[in-house]
Chains A and B, each alone.
Chain A
């Protein structure tokens, strides 16, 4: 039976979709059958970052409304044959998602995949709530700044009370923190919250720390999840996070200020 992982944050622009794309790709690289679902109806982006935007024929809302089968709407990733994308609708709004509709689609996905990664929209309204409602596991993406930490805290609170697992009174959603856009230099200068601060305020273990890097934006624009760039620190950090998600132990990298050598300073890093 598949595990449903929601990637959420509360705040927008912190890297949810980038994270969904890289985590899903990373799990696929490790041989898992993965479906990644865009819940951001009306503002779909996941297809762009996965580089399949020109192949979207049917979307999530079409499936919910019975206008096509799930199979027709799943787009096979061009690099991994065990990775599929279910795009959001760009022409509808989030009211097109219903609890019953989402449950039906997720149930069908669960029977066919090892992991279903749900890319949540920002906010705490309907779309975000439905993305987390059926989750077994949550990756809360947080930037090292006060407002992002506060919003993540709120989302964690909602998950603890309003998810299906919480309502059934059993074990809650397994929660992880993923810190993105982390800059050790700016932490040292006091401009950013440190990992210790974030861990202390949110009281959760950290799944990964993704360093701030221009390469992330470049890969997103190119439609290549950054995890595929195994030379880039951000790509390596995502690979570490995927390994930890699968239960492996990996030391945290890219958390110290890098000492720049002369050659690097001359030719750029």
Chain B
């Protein structure tokens, strides 16, 4: 019997859920079984969806949407779609960001200057609190949140993220590989931050940055966080 779905770690530290049969109930059952074996597993890392095994067949979009909403009901936020052949249209249809390849790191991301201006969208603005279990994704855009982000909530942008409030959940900038992306946070209590796939799980907040206004950016492939002054 072929596996319904399997969990595996992929290069940029995320967990990938490789789906062989897009049956929401079956996939959730597999996840729950894994969760019993390793309860902390799904809390630690962001989850990416790998639909590569389905490529070639006609993909049942409704089934995938049901799977996404079932995952969300389980409190599991899906970070994006693992890049593979023909996945970009799928990513667009599902409104999910496309993440680096599962097997090998892609060629270095295109610098911002080379991006054509036409595929870059206006900044996405969100007023109000982003609550636990909610996920906001700014496709091909910067993201500005005027409010706080609760623990267990997630904000993702292909560009930079500006948060005028407290970040208690997760923020992932440069989700499709833009390494110049940055994250600005007015009040820093984050669980996880990531820029272009380089992420930090903040089990312990650095004491000097807790509650401070900070900036996070990549410098020589290192994710650095510094207080704003």
* A interface residues (Cβ-Cβ under 8 A, vs B): 124, 150, 153-154, 156-158, 160-161, 200-203
Contacts and interface: CB of A to CB of B under 8 A. Distances in A.
Contacts of B147: 203
Interface in B125-150: 129-134, 147-148, 150
A150 B134 contact: no
Closest CB pairs A-B (n = 4): A157-B131, A153-B132, A154-B132, A157-B134
B134 A161 contact: yes
Contact of A203 (B133, B148, B152): B148
A201 B73 contact: no
Interface in B109-136: 129-134
Given A160-B131, A161-B134, A203-B129, A153 B152 contact: yes
Contacts of A124: 73
Contacts of B131: 153-154, 156-157, 160
A206 to B, nearest CB: 15
- Chain B: interface size category: 10 to 19
A196 to B, nearest CB: 14
Given A124-B73, A201-B168, A157 B132 contact: yes
A132 to B, nearest CB: 14
A150 B132 contact: yes
B168 A154 contact: no
Given A160-B131, A201-B168, A153 B151 contact: yes
A160 B168 CA distance: 19
Interface string B145-168: 001101111000000000000101
Contacts of B151: 150, 153
B46 to A, nearest CB: 18
B184 to A, nearest CB: 20
Nearest to A204: B129
Contacts of A156: 129, 131
B126 to A, nearest CB: 12
A133 to B, nearest CB: 15
Given A150-B152, A153-B131, 18 more contacts: A150-B132, A150-B150, A150-B151, A153-B150, A153-B151, A153-B152, A154-B75, A154-B131, A154-B132, A157-B132, A157-B133, A157-B153, A158-B133, A201-B168, A202-B129, A203-B129, A203-B147, A203-B148
B190 to A, nearest CB: 14
8 contacts: A150-B132, A153-B131, A154-B75, A154-B131, A154-B133, A156-B131, A158-B133, A201-B168
Contacts of B129: 156, 202-203
Contacts of A160: 131, 134
Given A124-B73, A154-B75, A201 B150 contact: yes
A124 B73 CA distance: 8
A154 B133 CA distance: 6
Contacts of A154: 75, 131-133, 152
A150 B150 CA distance: 8
A124 B74 CA distance: 10
Contacts of B148: 203
B187 to A, nearest CB: 10
Contacts of A200: 166
A156 B150 CA distance: 11
Nearest to B168: A201
Contacts of A202: 129, 150
Interface in B72-129: 73, 75, 129
Of residues B73, B130, B132, B148, which shows the largest number of chain A Cβ atoms within 10 Å of its Cβ? B132
A124 B70 CA distance: 12
Contacts of B133: 154, 157-158
B125 to A, nearest CB: 16
A203 B75 CA distance: 21
A155 to B, nearest CB: 9
A128 to B, nearest CB: 12
A158 B153 CA distance: 12
A65 B1 CA distance: 42
Contacts of A150: 132, 150-152
